[in-house]
Amino acid sequence: MDKVKQIFQKIVQFLKEAKVELKKVTWPTPKQTLASTSVVIIVVIIVSAFLGIVDFGLAKVIRLVLG
């Protein structure tokens, strides 16, 4: 039973420390979050299009080589 109490105390201590650390975080504003998300989505679309074109081109080259 003592071991269970120790584990519970460790969990409580961890949660208290996590709460203190989260108060130190500088959270982005909704505007910053939207801007960052937009950049990520645009970059993903560009990279996906590029890889799709490369894949299509390589597939054509392989078909030509293998007949």
Mean pLDDT score, 34-46? 98
- Number of structural domains found in the chain: 1
Distance CA 1, CA 40 (A): 50
**CA atoms within a 13 Å half-sphere pointing along the CA-CB vector of 32:** 4
- What pTM did the predictor assign? 0.64
Distance CA 23, CA 15 (A): 13
Q: 1 pLDDT exceeds 80?
A: no
Domain span including residue 44: 2-66
Sequence-ordered list of residues with C-beta below 8 angstroms from that of 65, at least 6 positions apart, any chain: none
Distance CA 12, CA 46 (A): 46
Q: What are the tokens at 7?
A: 């584990």
Mean pLDDT score, 20-29? 95
